[in-house]
Amino acid sequence: MNGQCPPSAQDLQNCAFFFDVDGTLAEIQPRPELVFIPPATLAALDRLQAVGVPIAVISGRRLADLDRLFEPLRLPAAGVHGAERRAADGRLRRLDLDLEALRQIEDELVQACARHPGLRLENKGLAFALHFRLAPELEEAARTLAEDFSRRHARLLTLQPGKCVFELKPRGASKGEVIREFMHEPPFSGRVPVFIGDDLTDEAGFQTVNALGGHSFKVGPGETIAQRRLDSVMAVEKWLDELVRPLKTEVYP
């Protein structure tokens, strides 16, 4: 089912949009550095902002990485699954973590991953990702390793499975929680939240917007608590384009 929401330019003006990035606004690529936001999507986001509709991106990537992807836009954003957040007024907030402990965990992970050539370890500063997209046969090895680390460092980290990745994210980092934080602040507060995401980490975001009376969209197949579904990244691009089209002609000619 493809949802049409919000259906009119009128409703659009009452909404606040939260977008996941990889697998939602951008096609997943063999390597994360190859990912790009389609120009039509960037133009649609720019248009939404220009008419005063608040937007934020809610991603597993780091904030710096998100800024590079969305250039020249610099959007309010939450990175590393909510472990870091830049509010609309530019204020930065990071989860307070034991950085020395994280450094030790990284050393351990580097050693453990060296036993599995093809497994790619990404250090996100506040989290670690074990990517097996280029070596799918390593899925079980990656799972075992990630489960072991999340168990031994349960005070700090929690396991977040994703598409071809197992992540060790900071305990307390949640996409649902950061959406709630944005919704308590201007220009988001008082609006109807809309969240679009594609992966397991996004379910917490769906839960929050559902609870706040908003609209949740899951991109692609898979079980979800989202209310509506968009089939693909391309469907998101088309939906966004249709959403902003009336703004160009009727509301803001």
| Residue numbers at the binding site for Mg ion (CB under 5 A) | 20, 22-23, 198-199
Asked if 173 contacts 80 with a C-beta cutoff of 8 angstroms, the reply is yes
Asked if 171 contacts 85 with a C-beta cutoff of 8 angstroms, the reply is no
Q: Of 192, 195, 190, 202, give the one whose Cα is nearest residue 161.
A: 202
**Residue nearest Mg ion by beta-carbon distance:** 23
Q: Which residues contact 31 (CB under 8 A, 6 or more apart)?
A: 133, 134
Element (H, E) at 165: strand 165-170
Work out how close the CB of 23 gets to Mg ion at its nearest, in angstroms, rounded to a whole number. 4
Q: Which amino acid is at 59?
A: S
- Closer to Mg ion by CB, 47 or 218: give it: 218
Antiparallel, parallel or unpaired: β 192-197 and 15-19:
parallel
- Closer to Mg ion by CB, 12 or 21: give it: 21
**Tokens 């934020």 — which residue?**
56
* Both tokens assigned to 118: 């093809």
Provide the residue count of the chain. 253
Work out how close the CB of 126 gets to Mg ion at its nearest, in angstroms, rounded to a whole number. 18
Work out how close the CB of 145 gets to Mg ion at its nearest, in angstroms, rounded to a whole number. 22
Q: Of 163, 208, 212, 151, give the one whose Cα is nearest residue 60.
A: 163
Kindly report whether the peptide bond that precedes residue 54 is cis, defined as omega within 30 degrees of 0: no
Told to judge if 20 belongs to the known catalytic residues of this protein, a careful annotator would answer: yes
- Closer to Mg ion by CB, 20 or 67: give it: 20
Q: Which of 11, 20, 98, 107 is catalytic?
A: 20
Work out how close the CB of 22 gets to Mg ion at its nearest, in angstroms, rounded to a whole number. 4
- Closer to Mg ion by CB, 100 or 223: give it: 223
Work out how close the CB of 111 gets to Mg ion at its nearest, in angstroms, rounded to a whole number. 29
- Closer to Mg ion by CB, 22 or 167: give it: 22
The catalytic residue positions are: 20
